[in-house]
Chains A and B, each alone.
Chain A
């Protein structure tokens, strides 16, 4: 019997400070046993439990993409006990990972469709994983137009800035980068909150576009009416939920919203599905 609680040992291979306030760092991990990397075969939208002995475990969405081999990466906000400890670890340190866990975004259902990604703040991680997957030559032809609306408080708080700029220069993806505000006179992208920028720049649905929305609750609250205005049906709006988790495999009971467990039945749900739950998240 496979022990689903037993983490694969991993080593910190690289640490990248992502934000000007240093609250966000991307950790690149390599598996101590290359066979574990094969077992850890994932799709964009899934998460994993990062396990630090003596500290505990945390569920974090995968920021690396299935098309990137040899490592896995997570962008982590310093917030609680485990993340604070992790922020103080260094390259070469050993820890563990369990996963991949949960369901990915519905890549098969979305084949042939246009995709609109709306992200805010540091919730852009699994969206980054998705975009890198989609832009890979093996996958780009399988999907229609791709639009990305991504915003943060300030330019210095945007994740993956170099990649964003590289995507901006491509003609097979429409980028709509925005910040709440900036005093940088050379800032050449949008200024404004995500929902109004989405209203102005995002494509209408016309039934053939899926919107994947990840961000802080306040952004989601004001983005959903915008999507409705743009004609998106509730079963074409895809959300990734978060709740307190421990096991990550649907057993410990705490992440339930009604009969759905965020860890195992989610974390990816359509808005139509979410509307049928008591929304305890």
Chain B
């Protein structure tokens, strides 16, 4: 599809224009050096200075807490104990400045929530409402190992538009019709000249080269599940782990969730909340028996799921895009690249 050139002085006006058709969502800095994706208030712009947000943009389609149903337990009500689907808006939302690996992560999570047998309507409707206006990574962070997980700094496979910051202007590679609709809504219409297209290609090569961190996982697929499961190294890998769950919360591909009922007097709501395989409560039975009752088992579960089970179930690669968030956020420096190396060796 076409490639456009957007002068940076026209950027804000275009963004504002697109608000008539889209809710805008983008990366912003919050307190305590935490950055995340959120709805942009009028006049607020996505902060393109952040390369990897602290929290991944998975919350755009998979909020940390979401109301699934509301209900009343008041026996005087005709609807007592009947679940009601709350009104939700799935009007178009443009996710501006999502990084290519995070958009690929959305596609991985889609395998879980949009299946031939069941579709999670909350996730699927939110995902369908999104137009992903990605921002290429020209200056990768040290922990970025996305080129070896099947994506990369300029990967368009999860995106509708790829923006590339080329100094005074953005180059916008329109990937899908959905992306084209946003471009038109923002009234960006200057076709890029041949020279600019050349710049885009060379920047892509340049960015890929800058990523030095890699993982290899081809051998993991060949190994037997139980052989990997019974390896001795899980003891040393899990030793420092605090089971804090940070890795699972910052991860763009961790999709596990809990369902909880919350009550205020007789009014209730059924919630879908992020959960984590790092927590003992995740698997404990009513009897008190816990099939993953040790830290080692929980740490092993996370890495086996990401690097082995997912591949053997779907044959679509590993469940990791190489964003590096878990590496930078881990309080005890557990590094998935090192774990992958041991599993692959």
Q: Measuring CB to CB, which residues of chain A are less than 8 angstroms from any residue of chain B? A: 1-7, 9, 51-57, 79-80, 83, 93-96, 242-244, 246-247, 249-254, 256-259, 264, 276-278, 280-281
- The answer to whether B283 touches A252 (Cβ under 8 A) is no
- The CA of A183 and the CA of B261, in the complex, are separated in Å by 46
Q: Which residues of A contact B301 (CB under 8 A)?
A: 256, 280
Contact with A along B243-259 (1 / 0, CB 8 A): 00000000000011111
18 pairs, A vs B, C-beta closer than 8 Å: A1-B119, A1-B124, A2-B119, A3-B85, A54-B261, A54-B263, A56-B259, A56-B261, A93-B81, A94-B80, A244-B285, A246-B257, A246-B258, A251-B113, A251-B257, A257-B291, A276-B226, A278-B229
Q: Which residues of A contact B308 (CB under 8 A)?
A: 259
Q: Which residues of A contact B80 (CB under 8 A)?
A: 94
Mark out the residues of chain B between 260 and 311 whose CB falls within 8 Å of any chain A CB in the assembled complex. 260-261, 263, 268, 270, 275, 277, 282-287, 291-292, 297, 301, 304-305, 308-310
Verify if B121 is at the interface (C-beta below 8 Å from A). Answer: yes
- The answer to whether A258 touches B225 (Cβ under 8 A) is yes
- The answer to whether A278 touches B275 (Cβ under 8 A) is no
> Chain A: which residue is nearest B313 at the CB level?
A259
Q: Are A6 and B81 also in contact (CB < 8 A) when A53-B268, A253-B256 are?
A: no
Contact with A along B139-177 (1 / 0, CB 8 A): 000000000000000000000000000000000000000
Q: Are A6 and B309 also in contact (CB < 8 A) when A243-B283, A251-B120 are?
A: no
Q: Are A253 and B275 also in contact (CB < 8 A) when A3-B85, A243-B283, A259-B309 are?
A: yes
- The CA of A136 and the CA of B79, in the complex, are separated in Å by 38
Contacts between the two chains (Cβ within 8 Å), count: 122
- The answer to whether B305 touches A252 (Cβ under 8 A) is no
- A53, A54, A247, A281 — which one has the most chain B CB atoms within 10 A of its CB? A53
> Chain A: which residue is nearest B124 at the CB level?
A1
Nearest Cβ on chain A to B301's Cβ, whole angstroms: 8
- The CA of A51 and the CA of B226, in the complex, are separated in Å by 36
Q: Are A244 and B283 also in contact (CB < 8 A) when A9-B82, A278-B229 are?
A: yes
Q: Are A94 and B117 also in contact (CB < 8 A) when A53-B73, A253-B275, A254-B283 are?
A: no
Q: Which residues of B contact A54 (CB under 8 A)?
A: 71, 73, 261, 263, 268
Verify if B202 is at the interface (C-beta below 8 Å from A). Answer: no
Q: Which residues of B contact A281 (CB under 8 A)?
A: 291
Nearest Cβ on chain B to A46's Cβ, whole angstroms: 13
- The answer to whether A251 touches B255 (Cβ under 8 A) is yes
- The answer to whether B257 touches A252 (Cβ under 8 A) is yes
